A and B are shown apart, each in its own frame.
Chain A
C-alpha cells in the first residue's frame, strides 16, 4: 500500500466540541504552550484533562495537538516512525472524527505532526509543528526522585548530577550508554528530556525550523523548543556525543543514513533492516532508490 496522500475526513462527530476538548481548556493549554515557548526547555505545569484513553497512551501529546489543531490543518500521526501502527491509527482517527481535518502520511504535506519516540527523517519546515508524546518529562528523575529538589536544581541550573550519571556510564561501560531519551541542553540553559527518541534523532532537534512541543499527560507538563533554538546533547570533551550507526542499509530503499529497525523474518535467525520512518522509505522508493530486498515490501507490512 503506498503512502496515503491527503485524506479528507468525513464530517466530525455530533455532540463533541472541535477536537474533543472544550474551548476554555484549549485556551489554558495554549497559554501553557506560550509560556513554554518563552522559556525553552522549561517544564510548565498544565491542568491536564481526562482523555478517552489512559495515561501512557499519548494523552499529553493529544492534548497539545487538540489545543492547536484548526480546520485547515493537515495532521500526521506516527508511532516509532510508522503511520500504520495501532496507536498512530487510533490517534489519527480520533482527530479525524472530532475535527474533520485532513490527515496524511506524508511528512511533506503535514502542518501538524504528532509523534511517539521518533523524529521524521525528512527535515521539517517553519510552517510545521512537531508534537512529541512524553512519558517522563523530568530528565533528572532517576537521579533525584524528589520533585521539590529537581525543581530547585532546574531553577539554579544545578546539573552536576546529570554529568555524574554520564561519568558513571563511561567508568562502567567505557562509553555513555544512554541510547534514547538522551538529555540535552536547550538554549544553553535548561536540561531537557527529549522524550524516548533514539539519540540518533537528537541532532535533528538542533536549530530545527519547526516548532517543537512536548506534552506529558500523566505528569501534566508541557515544554517547548522554539524554532532555530540551540539544542546540544550532553557529553564530555573527551567522550563526545555519537549517534548510532548500522553496518546494513535499508533492505527496501537502500538508505544508509536513516534510523533502521531490525525485523525478524523467520525462525532461523533471518532478519533484515528497514527504515523506521515508513514515509521516508516510501518517498525514497518512489524516487527510484532500491535496497537489497525491494520485493520484501509486502513482507514488512504484514509484520
Chain B
C-alpha cells in the first residue's frame, strides 16, 4: 500500500472548459506533489487564467476532474464537494494570490484585519492572539509591523502584493494558486517578492501553481513548467529542461523572444 504522502496533492484529469463555443482550455492533465511549484506560461488568451480558475474551484470545468488530497478525508473531486466544504477548503487549505492586489484584499480594512480575517472566519476569537499572528506574518513578508493598522490603499503595489501573500498563508495552506504575482511590479520589487516566495515555499513545504507570462519568474520559482497555447498544453516538463531545450516551435519562439539586456 503506497504511503499517503506519496499521492499527488493535486491532480488535473482532462480538465477542459468551453465558454459557449469558444475554447478556454482543453484536456489538461498533470500531478502536483507537496513542495512542488508548477509554472503555467503562455501568451494572452492561451487559457492560463481559465485553467487556474478551474483548478482553484472558481470555475467548474465543462469536462474533466480536479482531484485534491485533503488533510483528513482522502482524495476528493473538488466539484463534488458541497459549497460549504469548498469554501472551508479555500479558506484553510488553499491560498489564492491575485494579479491585482485589490482583488485579493479588503481595501477598507486595516492590514492586521486583512491578515486576521481568515483566522476569524475559522473561529479565532482572541483579539490579542490574532494581532500577534498578524504581526508575525507582516514581519515575515517584510512589511513594517508598525503599519499593521494602516489600510492597504496606503501601501505601495509591492507591499499590497506581500500583504496578499500574508493574508493567504496565515492559515498555513498546503496549496497556493498565483495569477501573475509579480505583474505590474518593478524589477527590484519583483526580485524581492520572488525571493520571499521561494523562501516560503521551501520553509512551509507549499505546493504552488503559478500562472505567468514572464519566463524569468518561472525560471526562478517553478520546478516544472507547462506551456499553453490556444487552450492546449503544447509542452511540459522540468523548467530547466523546457527553457533550455524547447521542443515545440511555440516554446522555442517564447524562449527566443525573451529580451536580453
Contacts and interface: CB of A to CB of B under 8 A. Distances in A.
Contact of A238 (B110, B116, B127): B127
Contact of B127 (A152, A158, A167): A167
A171 B111 CA distance: 11
B126 A238 contact: yes
B113 to A, nearest CB: 5
B63 to A, nearest CB: 27
A164 B106 contact: yes
Contacts of B128: 238
Interface residues of B, number: 22
A246 interface: no
Nearest to B82: A156
A129 to B, nearest CB: 33
B118 to A, nearest CB: 7
B112 interface: yes
B83 A156 contact: yes
Nearest to B121: A160
B149 A167 contact: no
A164 B109 contact: yes
Contacts of B118: 160
Nearest to B118: A160
B122 interface: yes
Contacts of A237: 125-127
Interface residues of A, number: 17
A171 B113 CA distance: 9
A38 interface: no
Nearest to B122: A160
A167 B116 contact: yes
A195 to B, nearest CB: 25
B116 to A, nearest CB: 6
Contact of A167 (B83, B120, B122): B120
B117 interface: yes
A159 B113 CA distance: 14
Contact of B120 (A164, A238, A239): A164
B125 A236 contact: yes
Given A167-B113, A168-B110, A236-B126, A160 B87 contact: no
B130 A167 contact: yes
A161 B117 contact: yes
A35 B143 CA distance: 50
A161 B120 CA distance: 8
B117 A164 contact: yes
Contact of B116 (A158, A159, A164, A172): A164
Nearest to B117: A164
Q: Is the interface of A mostly helix, strand, loop or mixed?
A: helix
A172 B117 CA distance: 16
B258 interface: no
A163 interface: yes
A239 B116 contact: no
Interface in B69-127: 83-84, 87, 106, 109-110, 112-113, 116-118, 120-122, 125-127
A206 to B, nearest CB: 18
A170 interface: yes
A163 B120 contact: yes
Contacts of B116: 164, 167
Contacts of B110: 168, 171-172
Interface in A208-255: 236-239
Given A163-B125, A164-B117, A172 B149 contact: yes
Name the residue in A159, A163, A170, A172 with the highest tally of chain B Cβ atoms < 10 Å from its Cβ: A163
Nearest to A239: B127
A236 B127 contact: yes
A149 to B, nearest CB: 12
A156 B87 contact: yes
Interface string A150-192: 0010001011110110011011100000000000000000000
A161 B91 CA distance: 13
A160 B84 contact: no
A288 B127 CA distance: 46
A272 B113 CA distance: 40
A14 B258 CA distance: 87
Interface string B9-38: 000000000000000000000000000000
Contacts of A152: 83
Contact of B121 (A158, A168, A170, A238): A158
B87 to A, nearest CB: 6
B19 to A, nearest CB: 22
A253 B121 CA distance: 46
Nearest to A152: B83
A238 B87 CA distance: 28
Contacts of A160: 117-118, 120-122
Contacts of B109: 164, 168
Contacts of A163: 120-121, 125
A161 B108 CA distance: 12
Nearest to A167: B113
Contacts of A159: 121
14 contacts: A156-B87, A160-B117, A160-B120, A161-B121, A163-B121, A164-B106, A167-B120, A167-B127, A167-B130, A171-B112, A236-B125, A236-B127, A237-B126, A238-B127
